[in-house]
Amino acid sequence: MRATLQVLLGAAVQEQSSISALPPHRNIVEILGIVGPAPIPQEIFDLCPQLMKEASSRNDAVGIVMRYHPQDLESCITRHQSGATSRLTSHDVFGMCLDVVLALRHLQRYKCLHFDVKLNNFLVASDLTLVLADFGCAQQTTREGTHPRGCRIWALLLW
């Protein structure tokens, strides 16, 4: 159990370090902190006290604290296609496409490879702004096409 907790905590720290290496951007998720079995910092606890109290009482939980987004892009599209909510307008779709491009451009500008870009990893805010999340597989490159360890990077794209 302890080894699993260490792996989870390591993955959360890896994700936070990948995001913190980038300058802030409106279409990239902002990590406010990591919750684990250690005491929770007061500024994180103040964001949502009940949830933080429950998380800190468990000895096997690790979580990443970020701003709340009600859904991901896949569930947003599914709900709109099924008619469960009002239809997306062409203006909404254009804005979402622009958000995807701006997020990916920001990653390219700062030489960050996400490796897990998919509909589920774009979170949708209540105003339909998209935010790219899940940087667990992300890697920084030092120059065009080179990993910090010096090997060439080849990314497999699945369609």
The structure tokens listed for 91 are 């203006």
pLDDT at 27: 96
Q: In degrees to the nearest 10, what's the CA dihedral of 56, 57, 63, 65?
A: -40
pLDDT digits (tens, 9 = 90+) for 108-151: 999 888 888 999 999 999 899 999 998 888 888 766 555 555 55
Q: What are phi and psi of 145, to 5 degrees?
A: 75, 15
For 9, counting Cβ atoms within 10 Å of its Cβ (0-12 exposed, 13-18 middle, 19+ buried), the class is middle
Side chain identity at residue 142, one-letter code? T
The structure tokens listed for 61 are 């939980």
Rounded to whole angstroms, the Cα distance separating 26 from 69 reads 13
- Tokens 């080179």 sit on residue: 146
**Domain boundaries along the sequence of the chain:** 69-159
The arrangement of secondary structure in 69-159, i.e. its CATH architecture, is Orthogonal Bundle (1.10)
Rounded to whole angstroms, the Cα distance separating 51 from 44 reads 11
pLDDT at 1: 45
Mean pLDDT over residues 85-103, rounded?
A: 91
pLDDT digits (tens, 9 = 90+) for 4-49: 656 666 677 777 778 888 899 999 998 887 776 655 556 655 655 6
Q: Which CA distances in Å does 77 have to 26, 70, 87, 118, 119?
A: 21, 13, 9, 13, 9
Q: Considering Cα of 78, then 81, then 82, then 86, what sign does the dihedral take?
A: positive
The structure tokens listed for 2 are 């302890």
pLDDT digits (tens, 9 = 90+) for 45-92: 565 566 556 655 655 566 777 788 889 999 998 888 887 777 788 999
